[in-house]
Amino acid sequence: MGDFVRLETTEGIGTIRLERPPMNALNTQVQEELRAAAQAAEQDPDVRAVIVYGGEKVFAAGADITEFTTTSYQDMTVRAAALSSAFDAVARIPKPVVAAITGYALGGGCELALACDWRVVADDAKLGQPEIKLGLIPGAGGTQRLARLVGPARAKDLIFSGRMVDAEEALRIGLADRVAPAADVYETAVELVRPYLNGPALALRAAKLAVDGGLSMDLAAGLSWESQLFAGLFATDDRVEGTTAFVQKRKPKFTGR
């Protein structure tokens, strides 16, 4: 679909593939192609879950720093919001999304992984937010999503130091959800999302909206948001099928409607 990013769909799984060798540097073109791929995955009813994958060698080693050397403050004030929203397009896919990480997920690569619901990490992979070493901070969600995921103290440690963490530490602090040999990372990601492929798509969408949206609300607002989403599911065919199947003691056959 683009020069560096493609969306491939097989048996309900949409794989967003990064293909900008050697390190999948996330330049402006890649960012915009990511946005387009995320929107395509969101809109395609045949896509029931999404894997973001950089290939067998590397997930994404960060932004294309050569672009930064000539970018002025005035330029970045215009571009910064678009950069963040490109990654946010991945976060907003209303379906289960997993990052399959090999090699490196650094800087923007780590931020892209953070935009996913889960992260499957190769046992020899390295993750981190090294922007501080360039005199910068993460600018595509890293300061916000990392803190929400691993807590503010750990996020500050990683962001202030710019250090990389290995798969073992990433798993321990909650940055990784599963660790697998590099050759098995993609298949492990497939196995993680496979249970959702025939699930109630609208209920899964509502659950993701409830959790992600509620994180930016106080408890009372979050509970109200949850109630609205919960009530809305009573208008779906899947709710009828799910509750009827339960009463009839059989496995439900969800249609995503």
Residues carrying an active site annotation? 63, 108, 111, 131
1 vs 7: CA distance, rounded Å: 7
Whether residue 193 contacts residue 51, with contact meaning beta carbons closer than 8 Å, is answered with yes
205 vs 253: CA distance, rounded Å: 17
b/e per residue, 35-64, with b = 16+ CB within 10 A? bbbbebbbeeeebbbbbbbbbeebbbbbbb
56 vs 53: CA distance, rounded Å: 9
CA neighbours within 13 Å on the CB side: how many for 54?
32
